[in-house]
Structure 1
């Protein structure tokens, strides 16, 4: 399945969508300017993320949950710090995001596998190239692998730290960007979203 096809079907889930992010950085052209501004200490807008924020808010209003665990190396690199700062906007929109240090994930035996698990039953493995560009999405139907990932997700979620608390511990105060910045894009949700948000 292509990233575009995955993005178009993403919000078809009934109750839960659970993301595990295993990389320290992702390559997403749409967020490059916002990241540049963040690293320069400048305010950044959210036009590039507005479609995702609105879609998440809509799902939350319907009682559907979007959850994300980010497995991160410490100290955080530039991309991870940017993603953590942006996470506060996704959390306000209704996404639930937690952070799990990589060494803790390894001790727990949590597999470092980029994936989405929908409704605890449909697993999608995300294939990134060496630069962090999402190349393809592989649907998995093997019940044993789905069950294994579900158990790993539950363990990671229990052990991970909510984004707000994690940010207070590792980030200095940063300029804020209004959640309402920009206009939502009609149609599909981008399938190439990176660590700062989106289905990729």
Structure 2
């Protein structure tokens, strides 16, 4: 059984890295729908009490865990990527570092087939989504410590991180 994100982040000792490579995720998310309708800076987007992820990030970074997220995306950005950029200010405030890399600048990077997390440079959590960006039916989370997969994921992440733009400097088109 795969532990929850909260458990994985709570057990991280040094680092957690995350690579996102899709142009849209869970477009049925009520926060995304509200954002598309013009509602910005809702408490459910920015309040750690309502968006538990922010509290988990703050707890981990307060313990000294480095949390980095990199996004590879198409330009012009999808509505969902613009929404993610908007709500990512709260992630950064909680202690997460985020960088953005247009897909056209990543042609020479070898990527795994799925988004992933790597915890403490030893455990890979693979995320499986369906064609609409929803969690894939069945086991959408897969954990592995396979050294080949770990090497591919860490290498891809670091290559993206090196050339990506920090969140504070990136503005969607």
Deviation at 1:28, TM superposition (A): 5.8
Deviations 1:74-103 (A, max 9, x none): 000110000011111110111111111111
CA distance in 2, matches of 1:130, 1:56: 28
Provide the TM-score with structure 2 as the length reference.
0.85
Figure out how many residues of one structure are paired with residues of the other and give that number: 165
Q: CA RMSD in A?
A: 2.0
Comparing both chains, which one has the higher relative contact order based on Cα–Cα distances under 8 Å and sequence gaps of 6 or more? 1
Provide the TM-score with structure 1 as the length reference.
0.75
* Of 32, 42, 46, the match for 1:45: 42
CA distance in 2, matches of 1:145, 1:35: 32
Deviation at 1:35, TM superposition (A): 2.2
Deviations 1:110-165 (A, max 9, x none): 44530011111111111111111123111122212211221221111111111121
Partner residue in 2 for 1:10: 8
CA distance in 1, matches of 2:40, 2:88: 15
Q: Is the 8 A contact 1:26 1:132 kept in 2?
A: yes
Q: After the TM superposition, which of the residue ranges 48-57 and 74-83 deviates more from structure 2?
A: 48-57
Structure 1 position 141 matched with structure 2 position 145: yes
Say which SS state the counterpart of residue 18 (structure 2) adopts.
strand
CA distance in 1, matches of 2:6, 2:88: 22
Deviations 1:24-52 (A, max 9, x none): 001164x42x3233223333413265211
Partner residue in 2 for 1:55: 56
* Aligned 1:87-166 pairs, distance under 5 A: 87-111=88-112, 113-135=114-136, 136-166=140-170
Structure 1 position 35 matched with structure 2 position 32: yes
Q: After the TM superposition, which of the residue ranges 43-52 and 57-66 deviates more from structure 2?
A: 43-52
Q: Which runs of 5+ in 1 are unaligned?
A: 172-200
Residues 28, 74 of structure 1: alpha-carbon distance in 2 compared, 3 angstrom cutoff: closer
